[in-house]
Structure 1
Amino acid sequence: MFEKKYIFRLNEKLTRDEVLETVGNKFYHDGIVTTGFVKAIQQREKDFPTGMILEKGTNIAISHTDDKYVIKDRIAIIIADNPVIFKSIENGENDIKCNIFFVMALTKENKNEILSAMADLFENYEDILKKFPLMTDEEILDILL
């Protein structure tokens, strides 16, 4: 599900769509998703925003799209030096500046189980999530695997 090559550390300032394109193209070239994934995830983020503020104030987003574009389950972790703007999951209007977010390619068989596990991560491990920018990729994977 999680692999080191899908932990992206972004130094440059990018838009939400640019980041989704970068991750989606990597997934496509690695045989994780089919063509259409990038456009579908960008459109879904516009139609159903995923930016949220967790209980202790951490801003995150969990971008995903229809499983018809997914070949294998994978989750990318993006850690951005410059916040990437996502719209709020609550009202679709407020900007949420995210330094940590996830791009998920989930098959139908595993989608509900994985989303539940991710919700548990956000709810119970927010303090650790906040430390991701200071951690090595290996430390992050040790926590998630």
Structure 2
Amino acid sequence: MESDMIHKELIQLDMDVVDADDFFSKLCNKLVELGYVNESFYDAITKREKEFPTGLPTQPYAVAIPHADPQYIIKPFIAATRLKNAIKWCEMATSDVWHDVKFIFMLGFKRENGHVELLQILVENFQDEKLMNKLLDATTEEEYMKIILSMKGFNEKE
């Protein structure tokens, strides 16, 4: 997976939100402002998340990977966020299993099924305790970005 979807301006460290709706509101505003998504993205991603939750019960930390259909995306991106405090997020393929999520990787794809390979890479990396602890301990956006770009499978060209 190519690393050009990672943009420093979309890395959020210790973002302070009360719940998923608050997260979506804050990040979607930023994505629209910076020209990554169109105005309909917020409605699309919140609707999709209600219908198809994206929480992953990965160990050592649960992670959320919200995404919406390509027609809402202007520029492909991965918005990597570490929350100040964990929030409840519904587990993928369920409607009643919730996890405390501190890491959210919002994904924006321009092509259908472009996310399948990336999701596999991310899920594999999210299970690497050493890597996740590095993300937890990172103190700057630059350091956080460097850790993400060091993930296995990330800098490989398709």
- Calculate the TM-score normalised by the size of structure 2: 0.81
The aligned counterpart of 1:85 is 88
Match of 1:130 among 117, 133, 145: 133
Kindly state the Cα deviation for residue 126 of structure 1 after the two structures are TM-superposed.
3.9
Percent identity of the aligned residues?
A: 28
Question: 2:88 corresponds to which letter in structure 1?
Answer: I
Deviations 1:28-53 (A, max 9, x none): 11111111101111111111011121
CA distance in 2, matches of 1:67, 1:2: 17
The aligned counterpart of 2:65 is 62
Confirm or deny: 8 A CA contact 1:58 1:130 kept in the other structure: no
Match of 2:29 among 22, 25, 28: 25
Match of 1:121 among 121, 125, 129: 125
CA distance in 2, matches of 1:94, 1:18: 20
Kindly state the Cα deviation for residue 129 of structure 1 after the two structures are TM-superposed.
1.8
Kindly state the Cα deviation for residue 131 of structure 1 after the two structures are TM-superposed.
2.7
Confirm or deny: 8 A CA contact 1:49 1:89 kept in the other structure: yes
CA distance in 1, matches of 2:50, 2:133: 26
CA distance in 1, matches of 2:145, 2:14: 18
The aligned counterpart of 1:108 is 111
The aligned counterpart of 1:45 is 49
Q: Which moved more, 1:131-140 or 1:93-102?
A: 131-140
The aligned counterpart of 2:152 is none
The aligned counterpart of 2:75 is 72
Gaps of 5+ in 1: none
CA distance in 1, matches of 2:15, 2:145: 21
Confirm or deny: 8 A CA contact 1:49 1:92 kept in the other structure: yes
Is 1:4 the counterpart of 2:5? The answer is no
**How many residue pairs align between the two structures?**
143
Confirm or deny: 8 A CA contact 1:27 1:33 kept in the other structure: yes
Question: 2:95 corresponds to which letter in structure 1?
Answer: G
Deviations 1:121-140 (A, max 9, x none): 224x3431233121132222
Gaps of 5+ in 2: 150-158
The aligned counterpart of 2:145 is 141
Deviations 1:70-127 (A, max 9, x none): 011111111112112110114221111101111111111643343333233224x343
Kindly state the Cα deviation for residue 11 of structure 1 after the two structures are TM-superposed.
5.1
Confirm or deny: 8 A CA contact 1:74 1:104 kept in the other structure: yes
Question: 2:62 corresponds to which letter in structure 1?
Answer: N
CA RMSD of aligned residues (A): 1.8
